Structure 1
Amino acid sequence: MQQPYTTMPSELYILRHGQTRFNAERRLQGQCNSPLTPRGEQQALAMGHTLRQQIGDIQQWQIVSSPLGRAQQTAQRVCDGLGLSHQCITLDDRVQEVGLGQWEQCQISAILQAHPQFQQQADWYMQAPEGEGFDAVTRRLRHWLSGLSNDSKQIVISHGLTGMILRALLQHLPYEEIWQLERPQDALFHYHDGQLTRIAVTPLQVPA
């Protein structure tokens, strides 16, 4: 039985990093890293532009990023889109990606071929040998949430799995529903007054 999920009245924007080389290669990253692709750079910059349209006084907001390189790259491009200095970014280990142990850098197809039973297990990521585990991830995310004040405004740049779990905590979702959530790199999520809203990111027009 999982502990009850914790919710906070703070206002949050939750972003996933842009596409990386490992994403394009269908490899697991976990707490290792691969750099953003050119597409990922454009996705991140577009997130910043979208946020600029959503947010009034940007000076009221704090930008928090996972310390993993792909998240930091994304946070920098988001700041560019918002017209902010990269020095505004605060790094926090508690919002980094789930550690995937021995599976990090492995191709997803190879893992599923070696473990065909995972085709029917939506949470198969949590089975990674020497992986971090669900309880450890939720503990650090709850710890981060518990430190937010009632009037804090946060833009958090995180990851696919961690972002899913964070959104589930905010929505009080049961464990089984977490793994049905999407992990978009062309959308972001706004949490306010107990409601979570998906916001599509408008792609930037890249000159030919």
Structure 2
Amino acid sequence: MKTIYLMRHGETLFNQQKKIQGWSDSPLTELGKKQALVARDYFVRNKIELDSAYASTSERACDTLELVTDLDYSRVKGLKEWNFGDLEAEHEYLNPPLPYGEFFTAFGGEGEQEFQDRIGETILELAQADEGKNILIVSHGAVCGQFVKRWEHTSKVERKGRIKNCCILKFAFENDQFELLEIINHDFTCIM
């Protein structure tokens, strides 16, 4: 059995400004960098030795990963956030209520099923090919949410609410199946 730690990046400038951030990028804020160090401390405190690491090609995910571990890692395009098309970098109030479904296809973005298939297939391929036992994947909020949704039928742990910055989703991977074991939300009160 392998353990996959799927993690969202730290807070970014666009998060702070409440802007839609999919394939567009913005840098980590100082708080975002501190959040990543708190996530790093989670692995250290729990004596979890990571064998390998992957990140979305977005700068915010790579920068977060580099603060969490010193491991060499691979940047993977398939781990990028949902493509929101022409609504990229616009204000979040333009988002429709959840679920988004096919809303963003009208703006040149991805539909929900297309997006979920992309990230589901990417993470499955990484888990199958990697020989490590503990694998870190740093990606994005919608990636994490859609991956949980894809595997909710195998999991006893239920996600409630948003996936916060630097949240870690701990999955077991065995026989090409994922099971959500734990949702690790950090206490950031000490750094705010």
Q: TM-score, normalised by structure 1?
A: 0.75
Are 2:104 and 1:124 equivalent residues in the alignment? no
126 and 48 in structure 1: CA distance in 2 versus 1, 3 angstrom threshold: farther
Are 2:63 and 1:73 equivalent residues in the alignment? yes
Q: Within 2, Cα distance between the matches of 1:145 and 1:19?
A: 23
Alignment of 1:169-188 (within 5 A): 169-172=150-153, 181-188=161-168
Percent identity at matched positions?
20
Task: Give secondary structure in 1 for the equivalent of 2:10.
Answer: coil
Offset, 1:136: 2.0
Are 2:44 and 1:47 equivalent residues in the alignment? no
Are 2:166 and 1:190 equivalent residues in the alignment? no
Residue 165 of structure 1: aligned partner = 146
Any conservation in 2 of the 1:50–1:202 contact (CA below 8 Å)?
no
75 and 151 in structure 1: CA distance in 2 versus 1, 3 angstrom threshold: closer
- How many residues are matched? 179
Alignment of 1:95-110 (within 5 A): 95-109=79-93
144 and 10 in structure 1: CA distance in 2 versus 1, 3 angstrom threshold: farther
Task: Give secondary structure in 2 for the equivalent of 1:18.
Answer: coil
Q: Within 2, Cα distance between the matches of 1:55 and 1:65?
A: 22
Render the CA deviation track for 1:183-204: whole Å, top value 9, x for unaligned. 1115322112634201232448
Residue 136 of structure 2: aligned partner = 155
Are 2:120 and 1:138 equivalent residues in the alignment? no
Between structure 1 and structure 2, the one with the greater Rg is 1
Offset, 1:144: 2.0
Task: Give secondary structure in 1 for the equivalent of 2:169.
Answer: strand
Superposed CA RMSD in Å reads 2.7
User: Which of 63, 86, 89 does residue 53 from structure 2 map onto?
Assistant: 63
Render the CA deviation track for 1:40-62: whole Å, top value 9, x for unaligned. 1111111111122234333xx21
Any conservation in 2 of the 1:46–1:204 contact (CA below 8 Å)?
no
Flag as ranges the 4+ runs of structure 1 deviating above 4 A.
none
Any conservation in 2 of the 1:100–1:125 contact (CA below 8 Å)?
no
Task: Give secondary structure in 2 for the equivalent of 1:172.
Answer: helix
Any conservation in 2 of the 1:21–1:34 contact (CA below 8 Å)?
yes
Render the CA deviation track for 1:106-159: whole Å, top value 9, x for unaligned. 0112x15xxxxx3xx312375121111122222222322332238643111010
Any conservation in 1 of the 2:100–2:112 contact (CA below 8 Å)?
no
Q: Within 2, Cα distance between the matches of 1:53 and 1:23?
A: 28
Any conservation in 1 of the 2:101–2:113 contact (CA below 8 Å)?
no
Any conservation in 2 of the 1:42–1:204 contact (CA below 8 Å)?
no
Q: Within 2, Cα distance between the matches of 1:75 and 1:133?
A: 27
Q: TM-score, normalised by structure 2?
A: 0.81
